[in-house]
Structure formats: structure tokens, C-alpha cells
Amino acid sequence: MTSTNLLDKVLALSLLVTADMQRFEQEHKVTTPRIHLLWTLGAAGPSTQRSLADALEVTPRNITGLVDGLVTSGHVTREPHPTDRRATHVTLTEVGAALVSDLRSSHAALAAQLFGDLDDGRLADFGGALDETIARFVRLMETGS
């Protein structure tokens, strides 16, 4: 067992997580960037496109396109901003809110299926290993080593 083996395991796990996300997206016929926008909206409430651009780290132009698509699919609406007539309030519809709710349930169900049978000690062991790996990654990416 080498450090490279360990990194390969991390990558393998990352691929599995991604694959599981894609399953949800295909079932609900929504793309990854749009899910990301809906999720952000679910956490923050009605938001300007500018604030969504900052949150998703994409350009405002890109948000225009994502919101266009989500308006067409019935997940969000553009409402007038209460105080700033330049801005719009992107708002979840019932359909959009239901999808976010589904996403939360699905996440909790996956967690229960994966780890629900573990006792507290095992949970703590796994969590500790992941915490330390995450901390190492963050340190490396922030400081360069």
C-alpha cells in the first residue's frame, strides 16, 4: 500500500460519487449546472442572477442561459426585484422546490444505505480518515504545500 495507491482510491471514490449524481440528473432530466443552480437557490432563497453568478463561479451571461432553461422547464420564474429595477429575483416554482426536496431526500437515503448500519465507532473512524485527507488537500491547494 503506497501513497499513490491511496490517491487512486480517493479518485475511484470520486468517480463513484459523480456517477451516482448523474443517475439522479438523468432520472429528473436536469443537467448538472442546473441542479447546482437549483440547489443554491434552495439554500439561499430568491436570488439575483448576479449573486447566483458569484455563488456558482460562472459569468452572468452563463446564468442568463441556465435560468432561461430552468424557466422553460418550469423549475424557476423571474420575478421583479423588490427594490432594484435593474435586477430580477430568480425564484423556485413548486416543481423546482419539489426537485430540491427530492435531492435532499435522495442524499439522506444514499447516506443511510451506505453507512446506516455502522456503529458510532466505525462512523468516527471513517470520518476521521476523510477529515484528515480533506485537511491535507485543503492545505496543499491553499498554500501550495
Residues that bind a second copy (CB under 8 A): 1-7, 9-14, 16-20, 23, 107-108, 110-116, 118, 120, 123-127, 129-134, 136-138, 140-141, 145
Question: How many of the chain's residues bind DNA (CB under 7 A)?
Answer: 30
CB of 23 to DNA, least distance (A): 15
Residue 104 to residue 39: CA distance in whole angstroms: 9
Q: How far is the CB of 107 from a second copy (least distance, A)?
A: 7
Summary count for the chain: helices (H), strands (E): 6, 2
Does the footprint of DNA cover residue 92 (CB under 7 A)? no
The reply on whether position 48 binds DNA by CB under 7 A is yes
What SS3 state is found at 38? Answer: helix
Which CB sits closer to DNA, 57 or 117? 57
**Interface with DNA, residue 62, by CB under 7 A:** yes
Establish if 34 lies at the interface with DNA (CB under 7 A).
Answer: yes
Does residue number 84 form part of the binding site for DNA (CB under 7 A)?
Answer: yes
Asked if 93 interacts with DNA (CB under 7 A), we say: no
Per CB under 7 A, 33 contacts DNA:
yes
Q: Are strands 76-80 and 88-92 parallel, antiparallel or unpaired?
A: antiparallel
Measured between alpha carbons, how far is 88 from 6 in angstroms, rounded to an integer? Answer: 47
Element spanning 78, H or E: strand 76-80
DSSP labels, 85-110? TT-EEEEE-HHHHHHHHHHHHHHHHH
Would you say 72 or 113 has its CB closer to a second copy? 113
